[in-house]
Amino acid sequence: MSMFSGLAAFPITPADADGRVDVAALRGLVRRLGEAKVDSIGLLGSTGTYAYLSRSERRRAIEAALDEAGKVPVMAGVGALRTDEAVALARDAKAAGAGAGLLAPVSYTPLLDEEVFVHYQTVAGESGLPICIYNNPGVTHFTFSAELIQRLSGVPGVVAVKNPAPPADQVGAHLADLRARVPAGFSLGYSADANCAEAMLAGGDAWHSVLGGIFPETTMALCRAAQSGDAAETRRLNERLEPVWQLFRDLTGLRLAYAAANILGLTQAKPPRPILPLSEAAQARVATVIEELELS
Amino acid sequence: MSMFSGLAAFPITPADADGRVDVAALRGLVRRLGEAKVDSIGLLGSTGTYAYLSRSERRRAIEAALDEAGKVPVMAGVGALRTDEAVALARDAKAAGAGAGLLAPVSYTPLLDEEVFVHYQTVAGESGLPICIYNNPGVTHFTFSAELIQRLSGVPGVVAVKNPAPPADQVGAHLADLRARVPAGFSLGYSADANCAEAMLAGGDAWHSVLGGIFPETTMALCRAAQSGDAAETRRLNERLEPVWQLFRDLTGLRLAYAAANILGLTQAKPPRPILPLSEAAQARVATVIEELELS
């Protein structure tokens, strides 16, 4: 399943100040990913600002991206605060032809494990869209236990998980533990780019990448090195990207991705308010790193 | 300003499974608060599930509550993930006649202080609705520093803050620090019911209360005791409510409020999915506490 193996590249979703998606700019970003031969596209992820876009704009984005992506599989973010809204979004994604849905347990009132379980069961069951569990406590404020992932992996239609990659010295044990808990073919993928090369070396199935959404060639080279099992080359390439990982830590991935897309001239879109664009100084720092490392 | 002094009672917002507000049931809840002579009504707070309701349903709720509330001032929750949506909600609330808006820095991507500042400045400035800062890190995942509250208290239209009440041994210092930072007349209110009687004894201006939204008479008695400065009576009444505070800790305020409203026969509405109603056993425990303490 190429949908859930190798590099899943997560682009931003350019939109105007009113939240109207710039379909032409989005097509340009998707085309760039296709040309770099990424394994799949993760549309409307967190960096893709799904949480800030209306149902109709999310549908417009999916339709344009699918049309542009051609044969590259597309997974679309279908998370919402309400279960009925997540079901509707998943049905929209399926109707438009998306191959899978990325479902985060978006929360306001903190959620209990049983509530999250029923939420996933309902969305997968009522939409018929294959669902990837989106574990990202930094934005959802819900942390999946290994036990809950195990239980969800037995729900029909729940086919993958995207976990934040633990540090290099822990990812092997993390992966072995999960592998023993889920059915064969259930994809164990990782996000948090700075730790993902090691996660792929350790045997992770997929790298869900923000960097890949904006610099697909650079990220693909690193991903392929890891997939080939060449630890020395993987670590050399990963080490070389340390200034980029430092930008992620200092500026956050979403703000960094918008600045990079602006610098590359791919779009002049800004993040949705209240999120502000990076300062001029921070943008200059991003531009320097892009140039010095020849990111592409 | 009765809007921001004494007891602000926060009712639930009964709605069906599709998120359609049950206006008749909401009117019944508001009437109950008016009869108990609460100082103000906090409509569409966190327990009032504002985050889970559409703009049109929030407007319906405000219009019905204002009509039923008569002369009791109403503050309405106007928080949203996007700044433009929060502006629109605040304009709706003002147009309907609400006296103030309760604005939480709802977040998905974690927000920076400057982003939150501009968000408040924009909503207050563009709506003209007096704004109460809603500091509730447990749901918004943003924590206001004293410095940020100080800075925001200088923004025209930002008139109050609702902070989670610290424990009894810290609330005096917390209040003294804030009082020195904000203009005269800026309301320093507290939430987190279990700690609020002490916060009022310490000189807090307002008690923003979930308990008051469902048991207004019981809560008003405690609030008035604290406001009269009778520490011994306040602590006796507060001590008596310890089984209720334990229910809040064990079951969370929102789930507890729905169960209590169901038990009292005020509405059969359930919380919005994915939030699930309490188990039968937990509901029985709530019923026992209501009966034994004669909550009203």
Report whether pLDDT(A166) > 80. yes
Measure B253 CA to nearest chain A CA, in Å.
10
Inter-chain Cβ pairs, chain A and chain B, closer than 8 A: 87
- Point out which residues pair with A191 in neighbouring strands: A164
- Helix runs in B97-230, H state only: 113-127, 137-140, 146-152, 168-179, 196-201, 211-214, 216-227
- B67-91: per-residue pLDDT in tens? 999 999 999 999 999 999 999 999 9
Say if the Cβ atoms of A115 and B275 lie within 8 Å: yes
8 Å CB contact between A118 and B274: yes
Q: What percentage of chain A reaches a pLDDT higher than 70?
A: 99
pTM for this predicted structure:
0.97
Tokens representing B151 are: 């800075």
Report whether pLDDT(B1) > 90. no
Residue range of the domain that includes B191: 2-228
C-beta atoms surrounding B251 within 10 Å: 18
- B109-157: per-residue pLDDT in tens? 999 999 999 999 999 999 999 999 999 999 999 999 999 999 999 999 9
B105 contact residues in A (CB cutoff 8 A): 274
Question: Per the structure, how many domains does chain A have?
Answer: 1
Indicate the residue of B19, B112, B122 with minimum beta-carbon distance to A82: B19
* pLDDT in the model for residue A3: 79
- A124-162: per-residue pLDDT in tens? 999 999 999 999 999 999 999 999 999 999 999 999 999
Arithmetic mean of pLDDT over chain A = 97
Reference B189, options B17, B60, B43, B8; nearest CA is B8
Residues 6+ apart with CB under 8 A from B174: B163, B166
Q: b or e along A13-33 (b: 16 or more beta carbons within 10 Å of the residue's beta carbon)? A: bbbeeebebbbebbbbbbebb
Report whether pLDDT(A170) > 90. yes
A246 lies in some domain: no
**How far is it, in rounded angstroms, from Cα B193 to Cα B44?**
17
CATH code (residue A116): 3.20.20.70
A245 lies in some domain: no
B250 lies in some domain: no
A183 lies in some domain: yes
Q: For residue B251, what is the nearest residue in chain A, using CA coordinates?
A: A112
A171 lies in some domain: yes
Measure B285 CA to nearest chain A CA, in Å.
19
- B232-277: per-residue pLDDT in tens? 999 999 999 999 999 999 999 999 999 999 999 999 999 999 999 9
8 Å CB contact between A172 and A134: no
Residues 6+ apart with CB under 8 A from B180: none
A82 lies in some domain: yes
A28 lies in some domain: yes
A279 lies in some domain: no
Say if the Cβ atoms of B275 and A18 lie within 8 Å: no
